Amino acid sequence: MTGGADAEVSDAWAVPVDALLAQLRWERPLAAALSPGTLAQVLREAQAFGLVCSPLTAPHAYGLTGFGRLAARALVTAMRAAATSAGYDPALVELGSELPARVDAALPELQTTVLVQSDLTAVAAGPVAPRLHAQLDDIALIEARGQGTVYRFTGDSVSRALRRGRSAADVLAFIEQVSSTGVPQPLRFLVEEAAAKLHRVQVAPARAVVVVDRPDDLGPLLADPLLAGAGLERIAPTVALAKVSQDRLTTLLEASGQPIGSHSAGAGPRPRAVRRRNSGAVARSSLRIPADERPAFIVGLLRGRTAAAPVQAGASPLSVLDVLREAQAAGRAVEVTVVGADGARRRLALRPTQITGGRVRGVRQAGGRATEIALAVSRIAAAAPLDPPAGEPDGGPAAEAGPA
């Protein structure tokens, strides 16, 4: 466009695309990326930046604008200064400060404030700064474009911003900051009304929910360090949300010694369980042992009763602590019988790691996964070693938790 081998082409104000492609192929025959598609893409980008334009009578011809000629001269000068044996080095091309200064002087000043009116519109007298436009577009609708932009605030647009996490105070503070006339009263009423309607129903992300009967029961759970990984957040006096799955939350609650019950979603308040006595007939069964197998069967029963003695209900805390301390010192696992708050008993395998302050910390193996738990000694009814030392039979002294 700016000169070359063909004088007719260089003197023309607008050059057809075919003639421009032929001239470029003549001047750069080894340019592998030179193709009609590449040239069309470059021309579209140059036209978007205002460097070239097309006359109405010749839409397939392009000519340089005033800025285009200025940029072409700057590029030619910079490319000659960065010349190398292979052409020029793009890393050494510097346009200088003249071209950016000319562009800044020609462009209109970006608007950072708007005129907010009582008819729920905001008017910008010129091009809006990108940051301001993005924030206004979040809480208002674009009503008109041109030399200036007109934004309109509606109930739906304000509610959309509030649903994305912004509060009514944040919206009003932003409008107060960017408005040259303050916040009109109708707009203030619109924002407050939208916030009042929207906040009646709130949605929060959650993977599991903890529901307790009394508000006092939820405080210890939020303060328990063993439940810190659950990310509990109180949303009501008796309800907290967790950031972990229900299975993981159940494991953490069991590790902290909390009794757990299932809560049915959508069932409303949980009714109290009604105890009923079953008066139905009790099925009885008998086991007949052949005479030649009775001695071995009796010996098995006696051995089972001896092994079961350590977990009887009469074990004292002292005997339980002895078994736990021995297991801690030897690094062995024990089977403990834990009594829950509802009186139910459950057995679990535990390898004690620390015994202090009336609590036992250890590692529980369940489902192929190790979990660190803490139990109160007062809730452990009995304990028996699972791995007796070599040379000591099952049910020996180390496995018994006798009375105090």
* Helix residue ranges, H only, 150-293: 155-163, 168-178, 185-198, 215-223, 246-255
Residue 155: predicted pLDDT? 92
Asked if 100 and 119 sit in the same domain, the reply is: no
Residue 296 resides in a domain:
no
Contacts 24+ apart (CB under 8 A), 185-192: 185/118, 186/118, 186/119, 186/120, 187/116, 187/118, 187/120, 187/153, 190/120, 190/153, 190/154, 190/155, 190/158, 191/153, 191/158, 192/168
Q: Are 346 and 296 in contact (CB under 8 A)?
A: no
Q: Distances in Å between the alpha carbon of 108 and those of 46, 98, 129, 165, 212?
A: 20, 18, 11, 34, 63
pLDDT bin (cut points 50, 70, 90) of residue 393 is very low
Asked if 316 and 357 sit in the same domain, the reply is: yes
When mean pLDDT is compared across 90-99, 178-187, 328-337, the lowest value belongs to 90-99
Return the structure tokens found at 16: 């057809």
Alpha carbon distance 375, 362 (integer Å)? 9
Residue 303: predicted pLDDT? 57
Residue whose token pair is 């996490």: 165
Q: Which amino acid is at 291?
A: A
Using CA of residue 253, residue 257, residue 262, residue 267, what is the dihedral sign?
negative
Q: Which amino acid is at 151?
A: Y
Considering 67-71, 238-242, 260-264, 381-385, the range whose residues carry the highest mean pLDDT is 238-242
- CA–chain centroid gap for 81, Å, is 52
Return the structure tokens found at 93: 């091309």
Tell which phi-psi region holds residue 203, choosing left (phi > 0), alpha (psi between -120 and 50) or beta: beta
Residue 27 resides in a domain:
yes
Residue 151: predicted pLDDT? 95
Asked if 176 and 251 sit in the same domain, the reply is: no
Q: Is the pLDDT of residue 388 over 80?
A: no
Q: Bridge-partner residues for 336, per DSSP?
A: 348, 383
Average model confidence (pLDDT) across the chain: 78
Q: Is the pLDDT of residue 282 over 70?
A: no
Considering 21-35, 58-72, 145-159, 288-302, the range whose residues carry the highest mean pLDDT is 145-159
Structure pTM? 0.40
Decide which of 74, 105, 136 is a domain's last residue.
Answer: 105
For the chain, what is the domain count? Answer: 4
- The average pLDDT across 273-301 equals 61
Asked if 93 and 162 sit in the same domain, the reply is: no
Q: What H or E segment, with its residue span, contains residue 83? A: strand 83-84
Residue 292 resides in a domain:
no
Decide which of 155, 173, 198 is a domain's last residue.
Answer: 198
Residue 58 resides in a domain:
yes
Question: Which has the closest alpha carbon to 5: 19, 20, 26?
Answer: 26
Domain holding 249, by residue range, is 208-255
Q: Are 395 and 307 in contact (CB under 8 A)?
A: yes
SS3 236: strand
Alpha carbon distance 242, 231 (integer Å)? 5
Q: What is the CATH number of the domain that holds 333?
A: 2.30.30
Q: Is 223 exposed, middle or buried (0-12, 13-18, 19+ CB in 10 A)?
A: exposed
Residue 119: predicted pLDDT? 93
**Residues 302-335, buried b or exposed e (16+ Cβ, 10 A)?**
eeeeeeebbbeeebeeebbbbbbebbbebebbbb
pLDDT bin (cut points 50, 70, 90) of residue 314 is very low
Asked if 339 and 251 sit in the same domain, the reply is: no
Higher-pLDDT residue of 387 and 230 is 230
Residue 402: predicted pLDDT? 39
Asked if 394 and 369 sit in the same domain, the reply is: yes
- The average pLDDT across 59-80 equals 84
Q: What angle do CA 133, 99, 84 make, to 5 degrees?
A: 125
Residue 278 resides in a domain:
no
Asked if 14 and 86 sit in the same domain, the reply is: yes
Q: Are 120 and 183 in contact (CB under 8 A)?
A: no
Asked if 48 and 86 sit in the same domain, the reply is: yes
Q: Is the pLDDT of residue 308 over 60?
A: no
Q: Are 361 and 256 in contact (CB under 8 A)?
A: no
Decide which of 179, 198, 217 is a domain's last residue.
Answer: 198
Instruction: Dump pLDDT digits (tens) for 179-227.
Output: 998 999 999 999 999 988 876 566 667 778 888 888 888 888 888 887 8
